[in-house]
Amino acid sequence: MIHRINNRDISGIYEHRKGFLDVLPMTKNAIIFLGDSITEYGQWEEFTQNPKVRNRGIAGDTTPNLLKRLSAITKSQPAKIFLMIGVNDFLFFDRHQIIKNYAQIVQRIKKESPNSEIYVQSILPVNPTIRRIQVDNQEVRLLNEDIKALAVKEQLTYIDLHSLLTDEVGNLDKQHTRDGIHLNVGAYTIWKELVTPYFN
């Protein structure tokens, strides 16, 4: 996936997933998980056993692409949106551009779906000891500080998953990943336990 993202060769897979999501039914007051492959690969509907939950993650997504598809999310006026986006952006943009895009996403949601509760989630580091990935985990940490500051400014809930899945040197802990970037079921279990108290 990283190779395809790096070479801008994700349009077929991305558009295939996006096409399905555009036509799937979305009831009002849904609970949306929104993001990239980290979100998409979580079986959120079954895992949470909550009929309101909808997975709107797309592998390879970036903040600019999410902005382009955001109206399909907001038009249904979801009750809650759990947002995690930004790690793929590091292949194209610096941290300052990413947080600008992130702020636009938040502002668009607030404008287009003003009653939606927005939960901004920390993005996760990678583990370069498992696979060489062009992401600087120090920049990931700094971006999370920016996201947290944005949450304070916009009066949103910030959810810190980063600290729970990171090892002592700031990498994604080996026990939570096989490929250095995506999560295993143990990590998704931790994530689920962290976010489900916000459902009600």
The parent domain of residue 92 ranges over 2-198
Per-residue pLDDT 10s for the chain (200 aa) are 444 444 444 566 666 566 556 655 567 789 999 999 999 999 999 999 999 999 999 999 999 999 999 999 999 999 999 999 999 999 999 999 999 999 999 999 999 999 999 999 999 999 999 998 889 999 999 999 999 999 999 999 999 999 999 999 999 999 999 999 999 999 999 999 999 999 98
Tokens coding 110: 């607030």
Q: C-alpha distances in angstroms, 23 versus 4, 16, 62, 185, 195?
A: 25, 12, 21, 28, 27
Instruction: Please state the domain count of the chain.
Output: 1
CATH number for position 138: 3.40.50.1110
Element spanning 81, H or E: strand 80-84
DSSP strand pairing (80-84 vs 31-35): parallel
Phi, psi for 196 (deg, rounded to 5): -60, -30
The predicted model scores a pTM of 0.89
